[in-house]
Amino acid sequence: MSLNTFGHLFRVTTWGESHGPALGATVDGCPPGVPVDAAAIQHWLDRRKPGQSRFTTQRREPDEVEILSGVFEGQTTGTPIQLMIRNTDQRSRDYGDIAQAFRPGHADITYWQKYGIRDPRGGGRSSARETAARVAAGGVARAALGMLAPGVRITGYMVQMGPHAIDRDRFDRAEIETNPFWVPDAQAAAGWAVYLDDLRKSGNSVGAVVEVVAEGVPAGLGAPVYGKLDTDLAAAMMSINAVKGVEIGEGMAAAALTGTENADEIFMGGDGQPVFGSNHAGGILGGISTGQDIVVRFAVKPTSSILTPRRTITKSGAETEIVTKGRHDPCVGIRAVPVGEAMMACVLLDHLLLHRGQVGGAGGRIG
């Protein structure tokens, strides 16, 4: 993790601002021979694309990815892969009002305090648009995982919007792709639609919790003690715009458990592999994957660009009120779902390569 790059061996550098000519991801360290083309990456970008329902920003970006390097005749070559997305819908005039005043809860003020240079055209580098580049890179990671660890399956979904959490008893994976919230609970989806419509119309916004699960991850991934799998997942998720909390397995709730309750008991499975009686650990012990499902959750705060007037100051130090017009997401957590999936894919591939490099095939057998 270093400034605009993340990953140890599979290294992704994202670049670009919301209203510049383009943005993208420079992906270094992808193994050779991975089948990748623009269409495969576009598939994932389309999931994140704005304007797909009335619940996301009405900004319309085709978000078409162009592969500029690193792929030859549909296969990665082992050299850096440059993924570029042109910005096309750059109505900067929408932002004229906020060029001088800082939006409360937004990075406007900290970028100014840090750099002394402020690009008033939208959020610049701090815009959620940056995450399109992550999703593109995640598409490459998924393709590589498909080749190297074909059993891995990554699924993201929302489990809470505002105060409304899903009912785990109604959890139905088949629902995820059928509603605009990627929520695995049909009843929640219906209720959330009403709730968010109200919020949207009132010019307000709301937070959310996203859960990302990776099934089929081999045991042994993760490198103690600062390159732990959960350490890297926490960093990856916390680096997403607006994220304020990250949990693995039981997460914050682990604090309330006793050792007796928390211990995931171990048994032998029919295939000579260990089987766990529960998964409080979220698939990670000591920073290393156990072979169980990897379970990560993160909380996304509400968008700070809202229509309700808020008190703020200008660059010249005057106190004022601000209202952020423009086309914003009432619940930016919705579009964070494919971003969380992408980060999971990148981190898993990175640790798969690290493990292969540092340990080879020398893991311990049981039995």
Q: Which residues are annotated as a binding site?
A: 48, 54, 125-127, 241-242, 286, 301-305, 327
Closer residue to a copy of itself (CB): 221 or 337? 221
Identify which of residues 193 and 235 has a Cβ nearer to a copy of itself in the complex.
Answer: 235
Token reading at 365: 């057998």
Closer CB to a copy of itself, residue 47 or residue 355?
355
Rounded to whole angstroms, the Cα distance separating 26 from 29 reads 10
Which residues define the annotated binding site for NADP(+)?
Answer: 48, 54
**Annotated binding-site members for FMN:** 125-127, 241-242, 286, 301-305, 327
**Considering the complex, what minimum distance in angstroms separates the CB of residue 19 from a copy of itself?**
9
Instruction: Identify the burial level of 339 via C-beta atoms within 10 angstroms of its C-beta, where 0-12 means exposed, 13-18 middle and 19 or more buried.
Output: buried
- The least CB distance from residue 234 to a copy of itself, in Å, is 4
Q: How many residues does the chain have?
A: 367
* Two tokens, residue 117: 């240079």
Nearest-angstrom CA–CA distance, 113 and 104: 14
Given a contact cutoff of 8 angstroms between Cβ atoms, the answer to whether 212 and 346 are in contact is no
Task: Report how far residue 23's alpha carbon sits from residue 21's, in angstroms, rounded to the nearest whole number.
Answer: 7
| Residue 321 DSSP SS3 | strand
Angle between helices 333-358 and 130-148 (to 10 degrees): 40
With the C-alpha atoms ordered 326, 332, 334, 340, is the resulting torsion angle positive or negative?
A: positive
Q: How far apart are CA 18 and CA 129, in angstroms?
A: 6
Nearer to a copy of itself, 174 or 202 (CB): 202
Run of H or E including 236: helix 229-238
Min dist. Cβ of residue 312 to a copy of itself (A): 5
Q: How far is CA 49 from CA 132, 236, 303, in A?
A: 8, 20, 17
Minimum CB distance to a copy of itself, residue 346 (Å): 11
**Between 50 and 174, CB nearer to a copy of itself:** 50
Nearest partner of 296 among 207, 211, 208, judged by Cα: 211
Amino acid code (one letter) for 37: D
Q: Least distance from C-beta 279 to a copy of itself, angstroms?
A: 11
Nearest to 92 by CA among 63, 67, 124: 124
Nearer to a copy of itself, 50 or 302 (CB): 302
At residue 260, the 3 state secondary structure works out as helix
Shortest distance, position 194 Cβ to a copy of itself, whole Å:
15
CA pair distance 183, 21, nearest whole angstrom = 34
CA atoms within 13 A on the CB side of 48: 29
Nearest distance from C-beta of residue 49 to a copy of itself, angstroms:
20
Minimum CB separation of residue 253 from a copy of itself in Å reads: 7
Taking the least distance from each CB to a copy of itself, the nearer of 174 and 362 is 362
Residues ≥6 apart with Cβ < 8 Å to 47:
135, 338
Name which of 174 and 298 has its Cβ closer to a copy of itself.
298
